[in-house]
Structure 1
Amino acid sequence: MHFTYLNPTKSAVFKDRFVTKVGETIVPFEKGRNGEVGLIGLPSSKSSISLSMAANAPESIRKALNSFSTYSATMQHDFRDERIVDFGDVPIHPTSVSDTIDRLHLSIQEMLQIDACNRYIMLGGDHGISYPSIHAFQKKYGTIGVIQWDAHHDVRNLEDGGRTNGTPFRSLLEEGIIKGEHLVQVGIRNYSNAEAYDQYANEKGIHVYMMEDIEEKGILPIIEKEVERLSSEVDFIYLSVDMDSVDQAHAPGCPAIGPGGFTSRELLSSIKKAAEFPKTRAMDIVEIDPSQDVRDMTSRLAAHVMMKFMYKA
């Protein structure tokens, strides 16, 4: 039978022939298929020290990409031909955090071994995913520099709860995967950390920029200065974007929301600035709980973070 309007194979979504949505440029990985950007979901949030359903964020962010077009009016360029190769989501162990970390690490290693893409985006999950992810990139590319957008240092001790979303950078530092001077933290906020962890960051030589520094100096000069420095010292630059670095008014779907963070424009402009440097080739986005979001505001902002990293526009 021929249907006049029904099409059982397609959703009933309006399609403008002149508009390409970012989500339409995503293709599943197949052997021999290459693309500009590789995408992988790391839906782990069992290690969160606060109640979180951040494991649902990769799906939510992918969905949000269907809300935006590939055309940049600023650059007068359409990125519809820039393909995103999706490697899917890593299945998380139902009970073991350590087994989950091993799965994430191995999956990213296998993705990188294929050399199908020039740059990579990891969608968390809580911030605990940065430990196995950065470790995998370090094994592949050598000396790693990291710029971390965050309200928190994430250098908590491991004695009080093992590896959590508050420990990834302590783990990386203690295991010698990264050096303190190669870690830049921007957006650290008052009343969000302990004195011991502030001291630890200083002792390890981490380059820390409080929100007061951002207000005084501006985020773009700081990012430009630090990426230029890292570019002369490391082989590869990795961006780690904790969405709770953004003010709660702009990112209500974070487990650890708080006032006084970045505006959405500050976050987006700083990601674009960092992405302009050739050695900046990977990024993770973490700490979005879609169940706590308002009209997908935080997932939509994360989608724009992806676009700034991919298109540099």
Structure 2
Amino acid sequence: MDKFSFLHPGMKSHFSDRFVTRISDCLGWYKEGMSGDVGLIGLPASKSSITPSHSSGAPQTIRSCLNSYTTYSGERSKDYKDLRILDFGDVRIHPTNLDETISRLYISVKEMLEVRACERYVLLGGDHGVSYPAIRAFQDHYGTVGVIQWDAHHDVRNLEDGGRTNGTPFRSLVESGHLKGDHLVQVGIRDFSNAMKYHEFAKDHGIKVYTMGDVEQTGIVPIVKKEVERLSKITNIIYLSVDMDAADQAFAPGCPAIGPGGLTSRELLASVSEAAKHEKVKAMDIVEVDPAVDFRDMTSRLAAHVMVRFLFL
């Protein structure tokens, strides 16, 4: 028997509608010489997480959640079914050596950029520590980089108490000279979630900090629009870094550092959409999703929807 009637070995079984294109249908593995619209890479590192985390499993889970969304936007009356996403796969993480892992992440992102297969990129963490080597690679490739960081935390902890962790990426970038302080914007910083010393570090280095109080008073979309315009005038490209714990625990229960008082899912999605519209926004990472503690993939589904808002302009 050469074929099966209803079995497809190696493939998941799911309902198919001839009129529906799912975002997962737009993904294809990168091969040498190919070109596409958006490059996708997984950075499954989570051993540096201060809070025990299995966020190394997030890239694959978020990819699978893309099957939950279609390419058609009713609000925009547009079907994005022709968008081509090239998947570069996941970086192989060293099992014990953190420095080696950071090096592998940097080299892999740099190599992806060097083939110039795409105009924009999505990077799936992993904990927030992956942003340090990733943004370094973008800075080395494009020159001056501006960053908008959605986060409950500053992530500028000292390195003496634990080395490089998911709480240190932006301190590492600023102190190494790969990112100027006033080229970093932090949105959604949550009350009673940071130390005074780290808030002072951010202010002393010129980092633009918008707390949840600022978001409530001004609105997140006007804040993001203002800062994207400012960064576009002083940097070569803009990189978005979305720590999913910026969202309230009601919307993102699968984050290692959940907490109340965060962004709603609509605020997060609307602000990412606003930022992604600008031509200088070239990349976005999505970090701090732990599928092992998530509920019905709520956090991974929101992360996948954040990715959708970046993909479809």
Secondary structure at 1:35 match in 2: coil
Letter in 2 for 1:229: R
Structure 1 partner of 2:252? 251
Q: How does 1:14-29 map to 2 (within 5 A)?
A: 14-29=15-30
How far apart are residue 6 of structure 1 and its match? 3.0
Structure 2 partner of 1:46? 47
Q: How does 1:99-118 map to 2 (within 5 A)?
A: 99-118=100-119
* Separation in 1, partners of 2:43, 2:145: 20
Measured at CA, do residues 31 and 206 of structure 1 come closer, stay the same or move farther in structure 2, by a change above 3 Å? same
- 1:1-29: CA deviations, max 9, x gaps? 36443343543211100001101110000
TM-score by length of 2: 0.98
- 1:94-121: CA deviations, max 9, x gaps? 0011100000000000000000000000
Matched residues, number: 312
* Separation in 2, partners of 1:55, 1:10: 23
Structure 2 partner of 1:194? 195
Structure 1 partner of 2:234? 233
* Separation in 2, partners of 1:6, 1:199: 60
* Separation in 2, partners of 1:11, 1:61: 16
In the alignment, structure 2 segments of 5+ residues that lack a partner are none
Structure 1 partner of 2:177? 176
How far apart are residue 84 of structure 1 and its match? 0.4
Secondary structure at 1:252 match in 2: coil
* Separation in 2, partners of 1:132, 1:4: 48
Q: Percent identity?
A: 62
- The root-mean-square deviation of aligned C-alpha atoms, in Å, is 0.9
- 1:240-259: CA deviations, max 9, x gaps? 00000000000000000000
Measured at CA, do residues 9 and 43 of structure 1 come closer, stay the same or move farther in structure 2, by a change above 3 Å? closer
Please say if 1:132 is aligned against 2:133. yes
Letter in 1 for 2:95: P
Q: Which runs of 4+ in 1 moved over 6 A?
A: none
- 1:113-168: CA deviations, max 9, x gaps? 00000000000000000000000000000001000000000000000110000000
Letter in 1 for 2:99: S
Measured at CA, do residues 10 and 198 of structure 1 come closer, stay the same or move farther in structure 2, by a change above 3 Å? closer
* Separation in 2, partners of 1:244, 1:28: 30
* Separation in 2, partners of 1:257, 1:311: 28
How far apart are residue 31 of structure 1 and its match? 0.9
How far apart are residue 32 of structure 1 and its match? 1.3
In the alignment, structure 1 segments of 5+ residues that lack a partner are none
Structure 2 partner of 1:85? 86
Choose 5-14 or 156-165, whichever is displaced more: 5-14
Letter in 1 for 2:220: I
Measured at CA, do residues 154 and 17 of structure 1 come closer, stay the same or move farther in structure 2, by a change above 3 Å? same
Structure 2 partner of 1:73? 74
Q: How does 1:150-165 map to 2 (within 5 A)?
A: 150-165=151-166
Structure 2 partner of 1:30? 31
* Separation in 2, partners of 1:4, 1:35: 34
* Separation in 2, partners of 1:194, 1:103: 31
- 1:186-216: CA deviations, max 9, x gaps? 0001111001001101100100000000000
* Separation in 2, partners of 1:3, 1:105: 44
* Separation in 1, partners of 2:235, 2:276: 15
Measured at CA, do residues 72 and 114 of structure 1 come closer, stay the same or move farther in structure 2, by a change above 3 Å? same
Structure 2 partner of 1:64? 65
